[in-house]
């Protein structure tokens, strides 16, 4: 039995149909007898739309309230995915970052995770539940909701994997792995089978958005093996170790 963390990005959970597809993959992994934590992003363009919505109300909003608003996107995905898993007769529980004990500093809109109180997560896993956690968000010691910066669900997944000493953190996205260049812009770009943390760190710091920079930093520090792969196919992706 392995402990696996899977993260699904915005395009992987963009529609009800996609969420049901993801639930199938999650249930298949669980049936292979693994403990499973799933981290989700907001559906499709939800975060962009929430930002636009706030702009209509107040172009210079209080960051605390902006974070509270943005955090709702991931909560919607987590609740829907847990319900989709339940519809397939597996036990699943959805957590916000508050419920999952993901504690950050107070820097709203680009908070950093300081620690994760894993007690409640472990309780659910030990009950045999699949745990679905809302990505991209945290809570300060004073109970304000924070967000981790755009693309931050990757960081939630890797930090949770590090805290739980997971065997692997699988990042499911809309491309088949890490390529030599953005495959949407450079069609002849090559998929990399395996790269080091330092090589990925370099790509992420150049702005390659397939992985959040902070996620790579945490993976390197805590030696979390990462597998970047597509949620649209079953092909092997890129291993970062």
Residues in contact with Mg ion by CB under 5 A are 9, 151
Q: Is 47 in the site for ligand ASP (CB under 6 A)?
A: yes
Q: Is 77 in the site for ligand ADP (CB under 6 A)?
A: no
Nearer to Mg ion, 27 or 132 (CB): 132
Asked if 42 contacts 136 with a C-beta cutoff of 8 angstroms, the reply is yes
Nearer to Mg ion, 91 or 209 (CB): 209
Give me the helix-helix angle, 63-86 and 46-57, nearest 10°.
150
Q: What is the DSSP string of 46-86?
A: HHHHHHHHHHHH-SS--HHHHHHHHHHHHHHHHHHHHHHHH
Smallest CA-to-CA distance from 133 within 93, 106, 167 is with 93
The nearest distance, CB 128 to ligand ADP, in angstroms, is: 28
Nearer to ligand ASP, 138 or 152 (CB): 152
**Residues 161-200 within binding reach of ligand ADP (CB under 6 A):** 173-175, 178-179, 181-184
- Return the structure tokens found at 50: 């929430």
**Residues 61-80 within binding reach of ligand ASP (CB under 6 A):** 73
Q: What DSSP state is assigned to residue 15?
A: S
Q: Is 151 in the site for ligand ASP (CB under 6 A)?
A: yes
Match 């339940």 to its residue by tokens.
Answer: 86
SS (H, E, C) 173-234: ECCCCCECCCCCCCCCCCECCEECHHHHHHHHHCCCCCCCHHHHHHHHHHCCCEEEEECCCC
Nearer to Mg ion, 23 or 213 (CB): 213
> Distance (Å, rounded) from C-alpha 138 to C-alpha 99?
10
- Return the structure tokens found at 202: 């370099």
Closest-approach residue to ligand ADP (CB): 9
Nearer to Mg ion, 100 or 135 (CB): 135
Asked if 43 contacts 77 with a C-beta cutoff of 8 angstroms, the reply is yes
Q: Is 138 in the site for ligand ASP (CB under 6 A)?
A: no
Q: Is 150 in the site for ligand ASP (CB under 6 A)?
A: yes
Q: Is 88 in the site for ligand ASP (CB under 6 A)?
A: no
Q: Is 136 in the site for ligand ASP (CB under 6 A)?
A: yes
Q: Is 151 in the site for ligand ADP (CB under 6 A)?
A: yes
Nearer to Mg ion, 9 or 100 (CB): 9
Binding site for ligand ADP (CB under 6 A): 9-12, 41, 151, 173-175, 178-179, 181-184, 208-210
- Site residues, ligand ASP (CB under 6 A): 9-10, 41-42, 47, 73, 135-136, 150-153
């Amino acid at each position: 039995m392995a402990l696996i963390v899977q993260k699904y990005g915005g395009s992987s959970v963009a529609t009800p149909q996609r969420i049901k597809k993801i639930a199938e993959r999650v249930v298949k992994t669980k049936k292979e007898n693994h403990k499973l934590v799933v981290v989700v992003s907001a559906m499709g363009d939800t975060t962009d739309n929430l930002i636009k919505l706030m702009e209509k109300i107040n172009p210079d909003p209080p960051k605390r309230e902006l974070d509270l608003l943005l955090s709702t996107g991931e909560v919607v995905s987590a609740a829907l995915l847990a319900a989709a898993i339940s519809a397939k007769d597996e036990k699943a529980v959805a957590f916000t970052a508050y419920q999952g004990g993901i504690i950050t500093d107070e820097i709203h809109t680009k908070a950093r995770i300081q620690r994760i109180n894993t007690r409640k997560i472990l309780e659910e896993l030990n009950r045999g539940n699949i745990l679905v956690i809302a990505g991209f968000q945290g809570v300060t010691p004073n109970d304000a909701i924070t967000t981790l910066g755009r693309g931050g669900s990757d960081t939630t997944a890797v930090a949770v994997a590090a805290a739980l000493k997971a065997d692997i953190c699988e990042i499911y996205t809309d491309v088949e792995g890490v390529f030599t260049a953005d495959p949407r812009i450079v069609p002849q770009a090559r998929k990399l089978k395996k790269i080091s943390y330092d090589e990925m760190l370099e790509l992420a710091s150049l702005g390659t958005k397939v992985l959040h920079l902070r996620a790579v930093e945490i993976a390197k520090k805590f030696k979390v093996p990462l597998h970047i792969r597509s949620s649209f196919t079953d092909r092997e992706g890129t291993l970062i170790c």
